[in-house]
Amino acid sequence: QLNMAKKKEAFLKEFKEGPLQFKPTYKFDLYSDVYDTSEKKRKPAWTDRILWKMKNLCEVASKEGEFPEEENLISVTLNNYVSHMTYGISDHKPVTGTFKLEMKPLISDPLVTLSPEGEWSAEHDVFIRYSTVPEFPSSAWDWIGLFQVTFRHANDYVTYAWVEDDEISSNKDSRQVYMSASEIPKMGGEFLLCYFSNNLQSIVGISEPFQV
């Protein structure tokens, strides 16, 4: 019935569905895995279904249910599409689908480019050079954090510098800020610099790894 409707209804044609590789999920006697034994004796049917579509994108699905990355900003892969026959509190068995979403960045170049200057150690103040794209919405509350290369969240910084309060020089191409030697880890190691934008509430620039 669904396949017939998809042939007739234009909006349904845009929807995808994974392969039905599980038994019909309707209609069951309550608290059992026995199909309907009532007077109506309804025929087993795949009543519960999961369909999906991508909005405003050219979709060409492969046999595995994957949309090629080169044609979309978001690719979708259906990892599994299954029923759960152990549930018995309804005359339907629940159905779940697990999807993998992969999103391409909307920009190819970083909004902020930054790098450490000179040798970094806890023996002296250190300096950071950064530049932004012309349209970047900077804020006085932006900051540059020093992170270990294994960091997982923007709050995992070791220390940070305010891009405005700690600025020591600027020109039309770049700006320079400093970090106090007292804040630099004495044990050293491999680190990254990350620029956090207050307006965008996100890290918008990451340096190459470097040694302290």
pLDDT at 72 over 80: no
Task: Write out pLDDT tens, residues 133-163.
Answer: 998 999 999 999 999 999 999 999 999 999 9
Secondary structure E strands in 21-125: 74-83, 95-103, 112-117
Instruction: Let me know if the fold of 1-103 is the same as that of 112-211.
Output: no
Q: Where are the domains of the chain?
A: 1-103, 112-211
Evaluate if pTM is beyond 0.85: no
Q: Are 81 and 50 within 8 A, CB to CB?
A: yes
Tell me the CA distances in angstroms from 206 to 68, 138, 152, 196, one per residue in order: 28, 16, 13, 9
Q: Provide the pLDDT confidence category of residue 55 given band limits of 50, 70 and 90.
A: confident
Q: Which pLDDT belongs to residue 140?
A: 94
- The identity of residue 184, as a single letter, is I
Q: Which pLDDT belongs to residue 3?
A: 86
Q: Per CATH, is 1-103 categorized as 3.10.350.10?
A: no
Q: Provide the pLDDT confidence category of residue 58 given band limits of 50, 70 and 90.
A: very low
Q: Which pLDDT belongs to residue 109?
A: 79
Measured in residues, the chain has a length of 212
Q: Which pLDDT belongs to residue 57?
A: 47
For residue 205, the surrounding DSSP H or E stretch is strand 202-206
Buried-exposed string 178-202: b where 16+ CB fall within 10 A, e elsewhere:
ebeeeebeeeeeebbbbbbbeeeee
Q: Which pLDDT belongs to residue 142?
A: 97
pLDDT at 31 over 80: yes
Instruction: Pick one of 3.40.50.2020, 3.10.20.600, 2.102.10.10, 2.60.40.2840 as the CATH number of 112-211.
Output: 2.60.40.2840
Mean per-residue pLDDT of the chain: 89
As a whole number, mean pLDDT of residues 66-93 equals: 81
pLDDT at 60 over 60: no
Q: Which pLDDT belongs to residue 195?
A: 98
